[in-house]
Amino acid sequence: SHATSFALLVYVSAWLKFHYPAAFTAALLGSQPMGFYAPAQLVRDAQGHGVTVLPVCVQSSGWHAGLEDSGESSPALRLGLEQVHGLGQASGRQIEEARKSGRFMSIHDLTKRCHVTQGQILSLARAGAL
């Protein structure tokens, strides 16, 4: 019974990866740490299978990776704020919440509305999220 259930899991995973590669990768990124593959490897694999991957962005990213309209037949994968080392979930959620009242107009606006530290701003900058 264990082998049968594992075979079913592998089959369903392969089907999802083939038919919905962006959603499959977003789900895997949200399941980290997994122990098998680093996030960068998952992203490279998705790109190799034709998925458009959009970078982390304080204006667009949620905490977890998500899907965005790419203007193509399949959605793009938007990397989540959780991919920014040194940010922390509480600060990521603050960014999401503050963005509901409008786009960030500057780094000063971001720090004022979200109370992120200078180190977190540097982490966001290194990740290309600003």
Q: What is the pLDDT of residues 42-75, one digit of tens each?
A: 999 999 999 999 999 999 999 999 999 978 788 9
Mean pLDDT of 99-121: 93
CA dist 77 and 85 (Å) reads 19
List, edge to edge, every strand of the sheet that includes 66-68.
53-54, 76-78, 66-68
Percent of the chain scoring above 90 in pLDDT: 78
Give residue 6's pLDDT band: very low, low, confident or very high (50, 70, 90).
confident
* CB environment 67-94: b (16+ within 10 A), e (fewer): beeeeeebbbbbbbbbbbeebbeebbeb
Which residues have CB under 8 Å from 128's CB, separation 6+? 55, 56
Average pLDDT score over residue span 23-37: 85
CA distance 92 to 64: 9
* Domains of the chain, CATH where assigned: 21-126 (1.10.150.870)
